């Protein structure tokens, strides 16, 4: 699978057709209501539970809060995601909380991976995997500044090690998320924002 590159105009088109976090949650609930008609029915309730808990209880670190306060120019965040993705349920709420705290300086939109294959193919993990979530940081002219994802480095190392043994990684990965208490993703988002200050 070859890595492609996109123009600012293409990023703009994707951003303009992307949806708000609130619309994403609404779509998520609608898919859960489909029950077994959704091919991903087995993953959705637990992902919803994880995401909802973080939406309610998340507290951002002082370092991340300070970085948000220092943003001078407006930026756009385009988040490639899917309801079925367990990592997304752990990470999307933190990204949304950052956007909300920025009071408009970060314009966050979400876009579905499976409906936008050329977009994810421009942001493959290790040049070969369509892993999500992937967060794209764009400037006000939709130029790509940086990207982040699909998960913190420590979690990615864990997943690679388990995959190398050809074992399922879901339970160890979510155990890692529970122990980490959203610290690694907040550290990474602090670095992402600081890179444009």
**pLDDT tens, residue by residue, 73-103:** 999 999 999 999 999 999 999 999 999 999 9
Q: How far apart are CA 6 and CA 17, in angstroms?
A: 16
Sequence-distant (6+) residues with CB within 8 A of 51 are: 25, 28, 88, 89, 92, 93
* 186 Cβ neighbours under 8 A, 6+ residues apart: 60, 61, 63, 64, 94
Burial of 38 (0-12, 13-18, 19+ CB in 10 A): middle
Q: Can you say whether residue 181 is alpha, beta or left, with left for phi > 0 and alpha for psi between -120 and 50 degrees?
A: left
Q: Which domains does the chain have, with CATH numbers?
A: 8-194 (3.40.30.10)
In contact, 149 and 133? CB cutoff 8 Å:
yes
Q: What are phi and psi of 78, to 5 degrees?
A: -110, 115
* Whole-number pLDDT of residue 4: 75
Q: What is the pLDDT of residues 140-185, one digit of tens each?
A: 999 999 999 999 999 999 999 999 999 999 999 999 999 999 999 9
Chain-wide mean pLDDT for the chain? 95
Average pLDDT of the residues in 51-62: 96
């Amino acid at each position: 699978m070859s890595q492609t590159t996109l123009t600012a105009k293409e990023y703009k088109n994707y951003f303009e057709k992307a949806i708000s976090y609130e619309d994403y949650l609404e779509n998520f609930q609608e898919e859960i209501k489909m029950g077994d008609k959704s091919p991903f029915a087995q993953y959705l309730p637990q992902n919803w539970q994880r995401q909802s808990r973080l939406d309610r209880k998340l507290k951002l670190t002082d370092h991340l809060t300070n970085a948000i306060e220092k943003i001078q120019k407006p930026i756009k965040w385009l988040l490639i995601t899917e309801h079925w993705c367990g990592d997304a349920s752990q990470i999307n709420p933190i990204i949304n909380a950052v956007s909300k705290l920025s009071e408009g300086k970060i314009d966050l939109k979400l876009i579905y991976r499976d409906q936008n294959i050329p977009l994810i193919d421009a942001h493959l993990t290790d040049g070969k995997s369509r892993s999500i979530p992937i967060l794209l940081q764009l400037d006000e002219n939709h130029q790509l500044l940086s990207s982040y994802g699909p998960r913190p480095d420590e979690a990615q190392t864990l997943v690679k090690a388990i995959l190398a043994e050809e074992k399922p990684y879901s339970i160890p990965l979510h155990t890692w998320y529970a122990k980490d208490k959203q610290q690694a993703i907040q550290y990474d988002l602090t670095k992402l924002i600081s890179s444009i200050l």
